[in-house]
Structure formats: structure tokens, C-alpha cells
Amino acid sequence: MQTLTFQPLNPQIFAPYGDIVSPEMGEKITVNDGMATRFRDLANVELNGDNTRTLISIFRSEPFELPIKISMLERHPLGSQLFCPLCARPWAVIVADDDHGKPTNLKAFRLDGKTGINFKPNIWHHTLICFEETSEFITVDRDGDGNNLEEYYLDEPMMLVDSL
Amino acid sequence: MQTLTFQPLNPQIFAPYGDIVSPEMGEKITVNDGMATRFRDLANVELNGDNTRTLISIFRSEPFELPIKISMLERHPLGSQLFCPLCARPWAVIVADDDHGKPTNLKAFRLDGKTGINFKPNIWHHTLICFEETSEFITVDRDGDGNNLEEYYLDEPMMLVDSL
């Protein structure tokens, strides 16, 4: 089985797939009489289609252990999807390019627990992968009419490994 | 100076002011092949007025120590505002009723670091109060045209105290 390893995350490499939700990425504004800093506009929340609203949820995920067999990716044609860890524990994101409706060129990133991710609409990604302990994430995505979920089972599953 | 003490938070008492953002409050759905639970639709994100979009920010706040002099409340006429702690440290929320444009009947709640809050549009509230250490919160509020901030300096400031 082909292996998939982690690569360093940076805004340039992630830009085609979405936003890195981190204080470092935002416009910095002092607020609250100097008691707080607002790091503003960290993600482009996109809600397309009819009767949309911004949907707030919390995902509670069981931890994974490497290596992980990667069999399926999904995408949301009508809206972005943001995940931000609530527990400061490491997690991982896998995205892929699209080739005529099939995910291709998978990329894996390991994230610290202080960094969130916002997937653009229609970007292939793996479901939530966290490590160490049961972990919670706040999510911001789309509620609305229409089918907003597409799943693709890989012709050849890959194995996500720590390093080669 | 009049004192303000904390009262127990529960969904009924907070309902006029907004949502409690906590797994306990949502519809519970098993997702990701059984590896995760989605607690769905935890807050009513409201974006009123023109040219609106959902705005994602991170607030980094310095900690407060009780007692705290409460001099000013604010409200956002055109949109809701959600705060969710990213660091599992305790924080506090103060809301108030409105009496012809003036905040009245202040209520203070102490929250654990696993509970967020979404203020409805136009609800008087104090700016972010966290304790112990510099703490980060993800916020979901409104970007758009028009003035979305109103501030009111209390005729008689109050002192938020731990207990009487």
C-alpha cells in the first residue's frame, strides 16, 4: 500500500485548500480598553445554495493511532467547513486535489492544538483525525437546502505514517 | 458601590440573551464511521443588515482578578456574537436587560472553560472577562455595512465580586 507522510504546513501550501485559523494569520486589533487583542477575519466562511445559515457544532472525536489507513475522502460542494480544536491537542488534516471528480495528490499536515483549519467548498478532505485523547473541535459550516456531502472511496487506499 | 455576584448558568435563564455553546445543548449525531459525535446546531448565528458575512476571529484576552469594576456594557444591533474558549480556563459573562436604551438588571455568570456563549443581536453584555492566564477565544460574529456597536457607560458602576 502506498504511504502518505506529513508535510510542513504553511499558508502558501494550504491556500488552495482553505484557511489556517491561527492568531498569526489575522489582522491584529487592540480592543476592550487594551485588555484584549482581536485577530480578525481568520477564515472565509462560504455558504452557497438556498436557505443557508451558519451552523455551529462541536465534534467530539476518538483519537487515532498512526499508521492510519486512508480509504475515503469527502467534500462539501455548497459550503466551507471550519474546525478549531478546543483542547490544545495535536491533530491532522488530509486534503487532496480533484481530478474529474476523484481526489488525487493527497497531502497530510500535522497541526498543533492551537491551529484550526477552514476547508473551502468542494475541497476533498479526510474526516477528523485527532491524537492522544478524545478531543473536541468547534465547527463552523453550512446548513441549508441541497446535498452538501460527496464521498469518494479511494481506488487504492493509502497508509498515513509518521515518517518513512 | 453596588455589587454584582455570579448566579448559576442554565439554558432557561440564559435563553433571553442567547445560546450556551456546549455539547450538552445540541442534537447528537454519530459521524465519521463511528469515530466522532457531532453535537449539532449549538448557536443561532444572526447576520442582519447589508453586505453581511460570517466573521471568524480569535480574541486573546489578559486575565482579570475579582473584584472587577463594571463601568460599561456594549451591544451589537446587527448581529449575534459567539465566544468559545480555546484553552479550557474559566471565564465570565455579564448580560443585561434593556430599558429604553439603557442596560438594566445585570446578570453575571461564571463559566467553565468548556462552555461558550452566543449573544443574540442587541443584547447588552460586558466585554470579555477571563481569569487565571492570558486566554484565547474563537469568535463568530458579523461583518457588514452599518454601525454594529453601541456602548453604554453605566450611571452607577457596579463591582463584580466573587461572593457576598
Q: Each residue of A4-61: pLDDT tens digit?
A: 999 999 999 999 999 999 998 889 999 999 999 999 999 999 999 999 999 999 999 9
Rounded CA-CA distance A92/A102 in Å is 21
Size of interface A-B (CB pairs under 8 A): 133
Upper half-sphere CA count for residue A108 (Cβ side, 13 Å): 24
Closest CA to A160 of A112, A105, A94, A98: A94
> Who wins on pLDDT, B75 or B88?
B75
Q: What was the pLDDT predicted at B87?
A: 86
| Partner-chain contact A32 B127, CB within 8 Å | yes
Is residue A87 very low, low, confident or very high in pLDDT (cuts 50, 70, 90)? confident
pLDDT in tens, B36-56: 999 999 999 999 999 999 999
Q: How confident is the model at residue B164 (pLDDT cuts 50, 70, 90)?
A: low
Q: The pTM is what?
A: 0.96
Tens digits of per-residue pLDDT, B122-146? 999 999 999 999 999 999 999 999 9
Cα dihedral: A62, A67, A72, A73 (round 10): 80
Which of A56, A69, A82, A134 to mutate: most B Cβ within 10 Å?
A56
Task: Return the percentage of chain B with pLDDT > 90, whole number.
Answer: 95
Average pLDDT on B77-91 reads 95
State the alpha helices, DSSP H only, in A8-163. Answer: 11-14
Q: Would you call B35 and A60 a contact, using CB atoms and an 8 Å cutoff?
A: no
Tell if the CB–CB gap between B62 and A35 is shorter than 8 Å. yes
For every residue of B79-147, DSSP letters joined together read B-EEEEESS---EEEEEEEEETTEEEEEEEEEE-TT-EEEEPTT-EEPPPEEESS-EEEEEEEEE-SS-
Q: Are B158 and B70 in contact (CB under 8 A)?
A: yes
Model pLDDT, residue A88: 86
pLDDT at A164 over 80: no
Q: Cα separation of A90 and A31, whole Å?
A: 30
Q: Is there a contact between A116 and B127 if contact means CB atoms under 8 Å apart?
A: no
Q: Is B71 on the interface with A (CB under 8 A)?
A: no
Which residue is listed with cell 471550519? Answer: A82
Give me the pLDDT at residue B163, please.
76
